[in-house]
Amino acid sequence: MDFSSFLTSLGTSFVIFVVLMLLFAWLSRKPGNAVVYYPNRILKGLEPWEGGSRTRNPFSWIREAFSSTERDVINISGVDTAVYFVFLSTVLGILVLSGIVLLPVLLPIAATDDGLTRNGNTTTSKGTFNDLDKLSMANIEEKSPKLWAFLIAVYWVSVVTYVLSWKAYKHVSALRANALMSPEVRPEQFAVLVRDLPNVTPGQTRKDQVDSYFRSIYPDTFYRSLVVTNNKKVDKIWGELEGYKKKLARAEAVCEGSKTRPTTRTGFLGLCGKQVDSIEYYNEKIKELTQKLEAEQKVTLREKQLGSALVFFTNRVTAALAAQSLHAQMVDRWTVTEAPEPRELIWSNLTIKFFERIVRQYIIYIVVFLTIVFYIIPIGFISAITTLENLRKFLPFLKPIIDRNEIKTVLEAYLPQLALIVFLALLPMFLLFLSKMEGIPSGSHVIRAASGKYFYFSVLNVFIGVTIGGTLFRTMKSIEENPNSLVPLLAKSLPVNATFFLTFVALKFFVGYGLELSRIVPLIIYHLQRKYLCKTEAEIRAAWFPGDISYATRVPTDMLVITIVLCYSVIAPVIIPFGVLYFALGWLVLRNQALKVYVPAYESYGRMWPHMHNRIMGALLLYQVTIKKFYNAFCHTALEVACQELKQTPNMEQIFRSYIPPSLISQKQEDGQLEDALSRVSGTGSSV
């Protein structure tokens, strides 16, 4: 690729971005699309358009994004999102400050030397672009005193990164503290999660065991406990019940629309069996399942108690103290940690025992390691098999389709990469699955764990793989001749590879952020679903519900870009403006999306920060051991924070209730019944 073709592809991406942005400006003004472009505002009960008028400037979203304050972001999208923006603006600051010094100083120095031509180094410029290479360190002659300027530039970038990271740490720390000391009552601040309960002595219930243990340690502040039960069966019945309720609502909607009573078959998937009136049938089923559920709930609560529990305290300080403290002398008993938010608890992971968790963790680490290192082998194997020849040979019935010219062209272009594309699309899900298998008890923690794995995957494969791999292949022959030449070769080839990554970063953001902003894919899916599938209000709502901002893939991608840009910032400073553009555009587009589109699935009060912070440091290739000490304030609630006064006396019963899984909540709305069913597990002896 020469310089002009680089400019061409850059121009094309830019045009795509502009088109998508115009599309967004046009589509987002149509009232029917409001639920796609402003779902978060609608769910918050706000007008889709600020000020209520939709006949405004089509680019006012930019003004709105810039004028929004951090407080707006926290109010509308939570602390986690605000922390993500601190990350984006910190990285932006680092790159801008680096660029201001590096670009005017290093570019002229590099341009005025001519190491590339003088060394006759023509092999490396093949497949890259000569003109850009002339602006990089690759153009400096060996042992030239001009290299000192590049060394000093490394220190400048490091100092800028340290100072801005330290400021960001203090800022994020304050954000977290402010959110945690909020006078709002949040159930998770009053609870702790207790795992690894030892076996009960005969005649003792789990409930008694937990209550007596915690009451003896916290006589004044223990409230009550919620023993985790085996909800497999009750969950299944509850799922069926909910399914029939949805079907009933749908049938009623159909009935209202067409004025005829819909019918259904009672057999497998409604395809066979006796034909009956849908509404009557569903009502009957619901009644039957409700009874079954009630019975199963009682059995579950009474007989299916497992070895872990949630314990509630009457004040936040005790809960914070308990969550950070060692409770049992033996390592594999009474593990107490902070309780996650009720909505993000992974119930099935709560009862995995201590040693099993350790073993699982190591197995997962090995699996991830093998995936990162060897994923290319099965993919290469599949690619080798799925050729057009083989398709014709083993699936002869496809022959007439394959042999059509236009399809043949497309297949020839994409078939070899099909396996890789499918793999890369499924990878985040696979990593989330692996992280969940580790036995992590909360959803946000699973996302952080998956994000870390994804980061290592992308850095090792994209960055190191291309740099080292490319260098190695190109120079394999000279290495064979003289093994000692490996190190200088690597150092020499890094600058040349910079141009590849420049293209990578430059092309990535225009198309990616254009798609993000215009939401073309969700828009099409929503309209299709609404037209052909959705019958009830709940179904339509589910069709446009935007989900959360998906940190599990977004943060690692940003991290990959910052790693690339920082590493090449001194070697080829021309990469910096592209990095700035990536993060500036990202800030702008995501600000809009956070304020108007995505609905956070959990709130971890910025626990992602230490991961971001540490990887920025890692990106500097200066691993800071001390950084670990900074983790604490993000893993635990500082007591000075927890002891702030609350706005109102906490309603402990409500806090306790928020943790009861929906499948265990009695369907009948009489409170007495509910109380009775639950009291078996948690009511007795509590200090209510």
Task: Report the interface residues with a copy of itself, using CB under 8 A.
Answer: 170, 173-174, 176-177, 213, 216-218, 220, 317, 320-322, 324-331, 334, 358, 626, 629-630, 632-633, 636-643
CA–CA separation, 159 and 674 (whole Å): 60
Torsion of CA 436, 439, 444, 448, to 10 degrees: -70
Nearer to a copy of itself by Cβ, of 328 and 520: the residue is: 328
Q: Write down the least CB distance from residue 331 to a copy of itself, Å.
A: 5
Q: Write down the least CB distance from residue 323 to a copy of itself, Å.
A: 9
CA distances from 45 to 32, 39, 56, 519, 563 (A): 17, 10, 21, 22, 40
Taking residue 168's Cβ as centre, other Cβ atoms within 10 Å add up to 22
CA distances from 626 to 154, 620, 635, 657 (A): 21, 15, 16, 41
> Using N-to-C axis directions, what is the helix angle for 609-619 and 79-111, rounded to 10°?
10
Q: Write down the least CB distance from residue 573 to a copy of itself, Å.
A: 32
Stretch (H or E) spanning 275: strand 275-277
> Position 290: which residue type?
T
Nearer to a copy of itself by Cβ, of 358 and 373: the residue is: 358
> Position 206: which residue type?
R
The dihedrals phi and psi of 260, each to the nearest 5 degrees, come to: -115, 145
Nearer to a copy of itself by Cβ, of 117 and 212: the residue is: 212
Q: Write down the least CB distance from residue 542 to a copy of itself, Å.
A: 39
Nearer to a copy of itself by Cβ, of 429 and 639: the residue is: 639
Cite the DSSP H helix spans in 570-626.
Answer: 576-596, 609-619
Nearer to a copy of itself by Cβ, of 331 and 533: the residue is: 331
Q: Write down the least CB distance from residue 312 to a copy of itself, Å.
A: 17
Q: Write down the least CB distance from residue 173 to a copy of itself, Å.
A: 5
Burial class, 268, CB count within 10 angstroms (exposed 0-12 / middle 13-18 / buried 19+):
exposed
Nearer to a copy of itself by Cβ, of 296 and 338: the residue is: 338
Nearer to a copy of itself by Cβ, of 321 and 431: the residue is: 321
Q: Write down the least CB distance from residue 218 to a copy of itself, Å.
A: 8
Nearer to a copy of itself by Cβ, of 258 and 329: the residue is: 329
Nearer to a copy of itself by Cβ, of 143 and 629: the residue is: 629
Q: b/e map of 44-60 (b: 16 or more CB within 10 Å)?
A: eeeebbbeeeeeeeeee
Count Cα atoms within 13 angstroms, Cβ side, for 369: 6
Tokens 């089509």 found at: 58
CA distances from 195 to 169, 177, 332, 355, 632 (A): 32, 27, 9, 12, 21
CA–CA separation, 23 and 163 (whole Å): 40
Nearer to a copy of itself by Cβ, of 249 and 479: the residue is: 479
Q: Write down the least CB distance from residue 321 to a copy of itself, Å.
A: 4
CA–CA separation, 345 and 191 (whole Å): 13
Nearer to a copy of itself by Cβ, of 505 and 617: the residue is: 617
Taking residue 491's Cβ as centre, other Cβ atoms within 10 Å add up to 10
Q: Write down the least CB distance from residue 315 to a copy of itself, Å.
A: 10
Tell me whether strands 335-338 and 263-265 are parallel, antiparallel or unpaired: unpaired
Q: Write down the least CB distance from residue 636 to a copy of itself, Å.
A: 5
Count Cα atoms within 13 angstroms, Cβ side, for 447: 22
Q: Write down the least CB distance from residue 681 to a copy of itself, Å.
A: 23
